[in-house]
A and B are shown apart, each in its own frame.
Chain A
Amino acid sequence: MASAIGESANIEHLATLLDRNREGIYTCVHCGLCLPACPTYRQLGDENDSPRGRVYLMRAVSESRLAIDSVFAEHIDSCLGCRACETVCPSGVPYGELLEAARAELASTRSGGVEQKLLRFVLNRFFTRRALLGVLMWIARTFRESGLAQLAFDSKLLGNRGRLALALLLSSRPALTSNAENRAAGPSVSTSPKVAILRGCVMEGLFSHVNRATERVLRKSGCELVEANGQVCCGALHAHAGELETAKELARKNIDAFRATTCDTIVINSAGCGAAMKEYKHLLADDPEYAARAADLSKKVKDISEFLIGIGAKPSEAIVARRVAYDAPCHLIHAQKIASAPVDLLRSIRGLELTPLIGSETCCGGAGIYNLQQYELSAKIASDKVDNILASGADMVVTGNPGCIMQIGASLLMRGESIRVAHPIELIDSAI
C-alpha cells in the first residue's frame, strides 16, 4: 500500500477538490447497502466499481493514501453517474456531488488521450455556441433523414461502436407516426401559469418533435408560454465530464436568460437537463454574484411530468391502444427523486396498458456518451435492459430523457428488434 502514497505530483492539488467534499465522503458508513443498486458492480462484481468502493477511493485520495493515477481514473471513469446509489443510501451520501468533484479533479490533472481531448473540444467549443451547435445538429438531422444513416447501419460495414453511433442517431426519430406534428395547437385557455421551456441542445436539435408536443400539451393545459431568449445548453454534459468552469458559464447565461422573462415555472422535458438546472444552486454556491439567483432559479425548475401532475392536467377522452413499458430515467428517479409522476400521467391515458418492467429504475447504460466511451460495459448493461423489455411484452417503451430514448432505442435496433421508444409527452400529446 505504501507504494501508492505520495508518488503523484498532483496529489496535493487533487486532494484539495475532494477535500472540500470531505464531509460528504465521511457520511458513508461503509454499510454496503448500495452495492446491488449499482449497474457496474452488478456486471463486474468488483468493489472498486461499486458506490462504496468509489467513495472509499475518493476518501483515500482526500486522505493522501492514494494517488490520482490510472487506477483511480479507471474506476471513476467506469461510473455511469446514474445515482441509483443515492436513492438507496440510508446515510444520505451526496454521491452525485462527490462524483462531480472527483471528475473535476481528474480533468484538471490529466491531459488525457485523443478521445479525451476531442470530447473537451466538442464540449467547450460547440456546446457553448448556439449557432455552431445548430449547424452540427442540422448535419446530424439531414444525415438521419436522408436514409444514408439507415443504409450505413444496415450495411453492417462498420464495427460495433460505429453501428451503435448510427443506431443512436436513428433512434432519435419520432416514434409515433401520428399527425400530431401537423395539428394546430389549441388556444391558450387562461393566462396563468406562465411557463418557459428549456429548449435544450439535443432536444431542439434531434427531438424537436418532443419540444413541439410539450408546447401543445402545455397550451392545452391552460399555460401561457413565454420565450426565454438567450438560453443555452444546460451544461450537464460539461459538469459530468469535470468541465466545471464551462458548466458554470453556461449556468450563468441561462440564469440571466430565464430571469429576463416573467415566467413562474421553467418546464423541462429532458430529465438530464432538469437535474442539472435543479443543481445550479450547488454548482454556483461559491459565486457571490450568482449564488442567490441560482438558488432562486433552481426552485422554479420542474420536470414536465412533475409540472403536469402538479397542475392536475387531464388527458382527453382519446384512446391510445398500446401496451407500454415505462423506464425511469436515472436523472428523473434518482437525481430528481421523481418516480410516480410520469407513471401517473401514463395511467391517466385511456386504453393504454402499462406493463411492469423489471429493473425499470436501473440505468440503461447510456449515461451521456458513456455508451461510446465504455462500449463493452455499457453494452452488457444495455443487454440486460433489452432482455427485460422483451420479457415485459411491451410494444413500446416510454422514457423522459433524450439520452435514454436513444440508448434504449439503439440497443433494441442492434438486437434487430422493432420496438420503438417514445417520450411520455408524445403519448400525452396524442391523447390530449
Chain B
Amino acid sequence: MAKSYTLPDAVADRLVSILGKRFVLTHPDELLVYESDALTLHKHLPPAVIIPGSAEEAAAAVKVLAEAKIPFAPRGAGTGLSGGSLSLHGAVIIELARLNRILKIDYENRLAVVEAGVINVHLSEATAPGGFHYAPDPSSQMACTIGGNVAENSGGPHCLKYGMTTNHVLGVEVVLPNGDLINIGGGGVDVPGYDLLGVYVGSEGTFGITTKATLRLTRLPEAVKTLLAEFMSVTDASRSVSEIIAAGILPAALEMLDQETIKAVEESIFAGGFPIDVAALLIIEVDGLRAGLERTAAAAVDICLRNNARAVRVAADEAERQRLWGARKRAFGAMGRIKTDLMVQDAVIPRSRLPEVLDEIYAIAKRYGLKVANVFHAGDGNLHPNISFDGRDPDQVARVDAASKDIMSLCVSVGGSITGEHGVGMDKIDFMRMIFSDADMERMLAVRDAFNPEGLCNPSKVIPAMKTCRYCGFGIEDLRHKRAVHQEIS
C-alpha cells in the first residue's frame, strides 16, 4: 500500500478540543473500516477520521486542518461506487453521518431543509404523510446521504421522469476548504448572479463540504401502475424501450435486468418472483393522475407485446409493486453473494445500441474469465455492468481492472459516456481523457480552484494529472504541486 500518513499530535489535540475525544479517530485499528467505500477495489487508509456533530463543528475542524495544510475528504454513508470518499495524500476523513436532522418541512412552499447526513429515504418517509416525497431515488436510497447525493448528482430509477438530484436542490450550506461557512443558492426560482449551485451539485466533494441542503419536495403521484414485461431476447426488450419513448410515453421508471441479474436476485432473500428463463425483463412504471393512466399503461403493454414480449404482468397491488422494486433495488447485494467482491460499473450508451453493447460486454467478460450481470436504467441509457470477483486474488483484480477499461472504451466508442450517476471519484479518473480534452479539463480545474484554491479538499479526485509543472515536476493539480507553489509564493 501507499505511503502511510499520521496526524500531528498538535492538530489531533485541537480537533479533540472541538469535537470531543469520541469523535476523533486516530487509532490505526479504528481507521481500517474507512479504507474503502462500496467499491472495495480501492483501499486507502486515512490518518484520522473526524465526526462533527454540527455545521459549526465541521467548519471549525476544517479551519484547523486548512491552517495546518492537511488535506481532508468528506464522507457520507460510504455507499459511493467510485472511491470518491477515500483518503488520498493523507486526507483526514470528515464523516457527516451525525448531521442527520431534518430541520424544516414546508409543504406550502414544497421544500425541506435538511442536514447533509440525512438519509435520502428518511426525507421521503417523513413527508409521505403530507402527500410528498423527495423524488431522486438512487437504489441505495435506504442508506445514502443527501450530502453524498448532492456531491454525486445522483440519479435513480425514477429520475427518468423527475430529473436527477440537481433538479431538486434549491440551496446548500457549505464549509469552504478554508473553513468559511457560506450559502449557495436559496429558495427562489432564479437567483441573481452566477448559478453557482448548478456548478456545485456534482462536484464530488472537491469544492467544499455540504452541511445543509434545501430540497424540493414533489407531490406523490395520485396513481401508479407497474408493469413487468418478459422478453426472450435483449433486442426485443431494447426495441420496446425505444418505441415507448418514441410514442411520447414518459414512464416514471424504465428498468431492464438481464438474465444473470435476474438469477442472482431470485436466489437471494429479496426474490421478486421474476421468471428466470427469460433473456431480459423490463420494469415499466407509469404514474400521474388516475384519469388516463390505464390508457398509458395499455399503450406500453401493447408496444411490448408487438415486440414479442412473452408476457406482461401488472403488479396487482402496492405490496407486489414494493416487492418488484425491493428486488430491483437490492440487485447489487444479491449479486455480491456470488463472490466476495463486486465491481459495479456505470456508463451511458445510446439506447439503440444496447443489444450490440451487451453482446460485446458478455464477450469481454468471457475473454477475462469473469462473470458479468447487467442492470440498465433503460429510459436514459445508463448501464451498470456488475462483475463479481474475489478481491483477495490479485490476478482477478487485474482482470477486473482490464475488463472495466475495455467496457468503458466500448461505451465511449458507441457514442456514450464514462459515468451516468456514480461519479468519477478516483476509480474513473483515468477514463476522463477518453471524453475530455486537456483544455476542457483545465477549465474545470479553474472552476475548482475558485472554491478550493489549495487543493486541500478531496485531493486527486475527478480530474486526472495533466501537465507536469515546470518547476517542481508534479502534476499541476497535484496537491504536492500546490504545496510547492504555495511555498514559493509565501
Contact = CB atoms under 8 A, between A and B. Distances in A.
Interface stretch (A23-31, A165-173, A217-225): A23-31
A34 B143 contact: yes
Contacts of B330: 33, 90
Interface residues of B, number: 49
Interface stretch (B26-34, B200-208, B252-260, B464-472): B26-34
B77 interface: yes
Contacts of A191: none
Size category, A interface: 35 or more
A72 B29 contact: yes
A41 interface: yes
Contacts of B51: 44-46
A76 to B, nearest CB: 12
A18 to B, nearest CB: 15
B307 interface: no
A30 B36 contact: yes
A1 B45 contact: yes
Contacts of A13: none
A32 B32 contact: no
B34 A47 contact: yes
B40 interface: yes
A65 B32 contact: yes
A45 B98 contact: yes
A27 B336 contact: yes
Nearest to B99: A45
A88 B142 contact: yes
Interface string B134-147: 00000010111000
Contacts, number: 126
Contact of A52 (B33, B334, B335): B33
B342 interface: yes
A2 B29 CA distance: 10
B22 A44 contact: yes
Nearest to B333: A90
A57 interface: yes
Contacts of B337: 27, 29, 91-92
B140 A66 contact: no
A46 B330 CA distance: 24
A53 B34 CA distance: 8
Interface string B7-49: 0000000000000001101011111111011101000010001
A52 B97 CA distance: 14
Contacts of B38: 29-32
Interface of B: 1, 4, 22-23, 25, 27-34, 36-38, 40, 45, 49, 51, 77-79, 95-98, 100, 117, 119, 122, 140, 142-144, 268-270, 330-337, 340-342
Interface of A: 1-4, 26-36, 41-42, 44-48, 50, 52-53, 56-57, 60, 65-67, 69, 71-72, 88-92
7 contacts: A3-B28, A29-B336, A29-B341, A31-B38, A36-B77, A48-B30, A91-B333
